[in-house]
Amino acid sequence: MNPIKRFLKLNTSEKFILIKAFFLLLTARIMLWILPFSVIKKIIKKITVINQENDANSKISIETLTWAIRVMSIYTPKATCLTRAIAGQILLSRYNYSSNIKIGVYKNEEEFEAHAWLEADDGIILGESETGYKPILNMSGNE
């Protein structure tokens, strides 16, 4: 089925979340292209403050929010694992969920890889991988 037809069949809430996810992915991608990572970390820390008093947004599940990031990353140019993790953390914070971006590395004799993923409730919710990455950076949005 055509992606536009699938989108039109969704309920209003799902459409809204997908649109939010797309713009957050695009914003994260642009930030990664033009800003130093230290500045990005400060921006993320500032905008991912959890407002415990406003729990009206918490009615949307973490699964729905991460689904939106996964779906819309297909339509976002160069949406890397770090792009998805940043957008996911910001989106989750808007719905009063705390999460952590982790960046890790994997190295053996033949290759070196870096990967970013998003964790919440002691589990990986975006950026799952079968490779055993060693975490080198933890970016909690509400430190």
Q: Which two tokens stand for residue 119?
A: 């964790």
Q: Which of 94, 93, 71, 62 is nearest to 25 (CA)?
A: 71
In 10 A of CB 22, how many CB atoms?
19
| Confidence (pLDDT) at 55 | 57
**pLDDT tens column, 27-74:** 999 999 999 999 999 999 998 887 666 555 568 999 999 999 999 999
In 10 A of CB 41, how many CB atoms?
15
| Confidence (pLDDT) at 143 | 46
| Confidence (pLDDT) at 48 | 87
In 10 A of CB 70, how many CB atoms?
15
Cα–Cα distance measured from residue 103 to residue 47, given in angstroms and rounded to the nearest whole number = 19
